[in-house]
Amino acid sequence: MSLIQRIDALLPQTQCGKCGHPGCRPYAEGLAAGEAINKCPPGGGETIAALARLLQVPVLELDPERGSAPAQVAYIREAECIGCTKCIQACPVDAIVGAAKLMHTVISAECTGCDLCVAPCPVDCIDLLPVSTDSNVVPIVGGLAHSAEALAAREHKRNQARRRFEQRNLRLQRDETRKQAERLARSQRSANASAAPASAVVDDPIKAAIERVKAQKAAAADTALKQAKIAAAMSRAQLNKARTAFGDMPEPAQQAQLAELENAAQQAQARLQALQPVAGDGR
């Protein structure tokens, strides 16, 4: 293996970005070029020591500015999920499954605990649960595997996480290439249409202006409807979350807060219902 591959093999493969790079492989490339070995919180002291041996440099303390990375796994409270797909887009190893407007769930065995899915969630329905030594989830971070069996299990999960990360990147590159090709084809069709003979073009500026206005209104109505759907879903999720937290006998202050949330949810639902006829198809 090359030096970069040997370095990458020592990294935890959480792809969390806490080292300042968009993944473990880019950090491995930086290390091969002389970057500091103490920027990986998920690897911790174990990874720092291994890197020091490989690169023949002194052992350093973990850089405290990089934060912490305990053994953890993401969990989605599915009853509160609004199906926005933002966590799916953020997961570097495709460990979250779901579809737009449908609830999402985490594949625990594939989750690296990178926490990148938490911040994008608009309704805060993702928890990071600790992974204990007796859990059926293999911890991917350093310092927890000591027996030969545990080390082998962790190595397998790290290799699997690396493959999933690389496959995801390849898929995103293919999707972007396809989108660029489609945009180019559309622009070529538009150019061909504009270059068509005048006899083939409808020369009616008033009608064209009316059609443009109709299209703009339809696009604005569709955007407003989508925003209203998200607002209504978020209001319901916040109300359900408060009801769960306050229990069956809320205190007066909590009752007032519930009343405000219920009012906000009703208003959001009313706005959504008012916009539904505009869409025409009842979406």
Which of 134-138, 153-157, 190-194, 220-224 holds the top average pLDDT? Answer: 153-157
- Scan for tokens 């933002």, then name that residue: 86
Q: Does 121 reside within a domain?
A: yes
Q: Does 188 reside within a domain?
A: no
Q: Check: CB of residue 140 under 8 Å from CB of residue 154.
A: yes
55 and 85, same domain (yes or no): no
Expressed in percent and rounded to 5, the helix, strand and coil fractions of the chain are 55, 5, 40
Q: Does 181 reside within a domain?
A: no
Phi, psi at 77, each rounded to 5°: -75, 95
Tell me the per-residue pLDDT of 186-225, one tens digit each, with 9 for 90 and over: 888 888 877 665 444 445 677 777 878 888 888 888 888 8
Q: Does 196 reside within a domain?
A: no
69, with CB counted inside 10 A (0-12, 13-18, 19+), is buried
43 and 126, same domain (yes or no): no
Last residue of a domain, one of 48, 66, 84: 66
145 and 96, same domain (yes or no): yes
57 and 104, same domain (yes or no): no
Length of the chain in residues, anyone?
A: 283
Q: Does 197 reside within a domain?
A: no
Q: What is the total count of domains within the chain?
A: 3
Q: How many CB atoms lie within 10 A of CB 273?
A: 11
Model pTM? 0.69
Tell me the per-residue pLDDT of 14-34, one tens digit each, with 9 for 90 and over: 999 999 999 999 999 999 999
Closest by Cα among 74, 90, 92 to 131: 74
Q: Does 125 reside within a domain?
A: yes
| Residue 277 pLDDT | 64
CA distance 272 to 231: 9
DSSP 8-state assignment for residue 132 = -
Find the mean pLDDT for residues 143-168. Answer: 95
Range of the domain at 225: 205-275
Last residue of a domain, one of 66, 86, 117: 66
Residue 278 pLDDT > 50, yes or no?
A: no
11 and 29, same domain (yes or no): yes
Last residue of a domain, one of 149, 169, 189: 169
Q: Does 16 reside within a domain?
A: yes
CA distance 42 to 157: 14
161 and 237, same domain (yes or no): no
